[in-house]
Amino acid sequence: MSIARSENAALHVVCDAVADSARRTAETYGGRALTDPLEAIRADGVEAVVIASPTPTHVELLSAAIEAGVGALCEKPIDLDIARVDALRERARSAPAPVMLGFNRRFDPHFAELHRRVAAGEIGRLEHLAVTSRDPEPAPDAYIATSGGIFRDMTIHDLDMARWFVPEVTSVSAVGFRQFSAGIAGLGDYDAAVLTLTGAGGESVVITNSRHSAYGYDQRLEAFGPDGLLQVGNVTETAVRAWGAAAVEATGPYQRFFLERYSAAYALELEAFVRAVRGEDVAYPGFEDGRAALLLADAAGVSAREGRAVNVDLTA
């Protein structure tokens, strides 16, 4: 949808392994329907591709995009296996066209403004970042079973948020919890987690995750420094507030889940990608950011399992 709506891009090809899905999407948004992603990547006239297929397909498709010399916007994570990511690292580094990772939260206008104001020095040198991320309800057990676990599937977004502010994280301490889902516990995964990260400059970052939240999708960010605090709260469906006998300052629910809460972010992410492909100088999360977030997620897994802080070296 973002591609079709963009004034700076044209949708040439829609590819889905399920032919009917490809056909319906092409009928709605335009483009030629294909079922073979390699054919789509190599099709005449294609300058860039968005890879939003399941995680196990990313490395092969990214590789093909780099080889074909087309830009690639690839969903997170790059892969669940850091060895497969590392095997692609050199080629990604020398890719002729931009390789961007789908860390859409960097493009959320609220978070981006907070980031700009921290960078501008409004609160002084950043001392503490608090990232809260709770899903409204857990994904089905079948999804969780192949997701790579909470740290690599869910926390990875928050780990990238942490690195957006504190690029050089040096240690990860994570505690995983099994609080409410027998299904998730049965899969050996956690349904909630709390992480503490340390930055090379002595910064602290706390990430709070849960796979459920009775009040909806909970996405908050707080930055603290010697000169003050900057905070982004949840976004409600309506700006109207009501005062009555039963409740004061009552408002509509929070935007339901990621497609609603981050709709502007997805559109802005796509625009940044298109501008990067056109050769403009834009900031975007790249392959190295995807790799770093996966390294931190893996470190969190070790930390939670072994009950100790894990040192990481993101400079290597």
Ligand X SMILES: NC(=O)c1ccc[n+]([C@@H]2O[C@H](COP(=O)([O-])OP(=O)(O)OC[C@H]3O[C@@H](n4cnc5c(N)ncnc54)[C@H](O)[C@@H]3O)[C@@H](O)[C@H]2O)c1
Least distance to ligand X, CB of residue 75, Å = 3
Residue placing its CB nearer to ligand X in the complex, 102 or 149: 102
What SS3 class is residue 210? strand
Residue 232: other Cβ atoms inside 10 A: 18
Residue 308: other Cβ atoms inside 10 A: 11
Place of tokens 């040439």: 12
Least distance to ligand X, CB of residue 125, Å = 30
Place of tokens 């909470």: 150
Residue placing its CB nearer to ligand X in the complex, 16 or 271: 16
The token duo for 167 is: 């690029």
Least distance to ligand X, CB of residue 34, Å = 9
Residue placing its CB nearer to ligand X in the complex, 155 or 170: 155
Residue 298: other Cβ atoms inside 10 A: 20
Least distance to ligand X, CB of residue 282, Å = 18
Which has the closest alpha carbon to 72: 80, 64, 81? Answer: 64
Residue placing its CB nearer to ligand X in the complex, 1 or 17: 17
The token duo for 168 is: 């050089």
Residue placing its CB nearer to ligand X in the complex, 102 or 199: 102
For 133-200, give the secondary structure using H, E and C.
Answer: EECCCCCCHHHHHHHCCHHHHHHHHHHHHHHHHCCCEEEEEEEEECCCCHHHHHCCCCCEEEEEEEEC
Residue placing its CB nearer to ligand X in the complex, 71 or 199: 71
The token duo for 81 is: 């296996």
Instruction: State the residues that interact with ligand X by CB under 6 A.
Output: 15-18, 21, 37, 52-55, 57, 75-76, 102, 104, 258
Measured distance CA(256)–CA(35) in Å, rounded: 31
Residue placing its CB nearer to ligand X in the complex, 15 or 126: 15
Least distance to ligand X, CB of residue 84, Å = 14
Least distance to ligand X, CB of residue 133, Å = 11
Residue placing its CB nearer to ligand X in the complex, 177 or 258: 258
Least distance to ligand X, CB of residue 4, Å = 16
Least distance to ligand X, CB of residue 131, Å = 15
Burial of 269 (0-12, 13-18, 19+ CB in 10 A): buried
What SS3 class is residue 54? coil
Q: Strands, DSSP E only, in the chain?
A: 13-15, 32-34, 48-51, 71-74, 99-101, 128-134, 169-177, 192-199, 204-210, 218-225, 228-232, 310-311
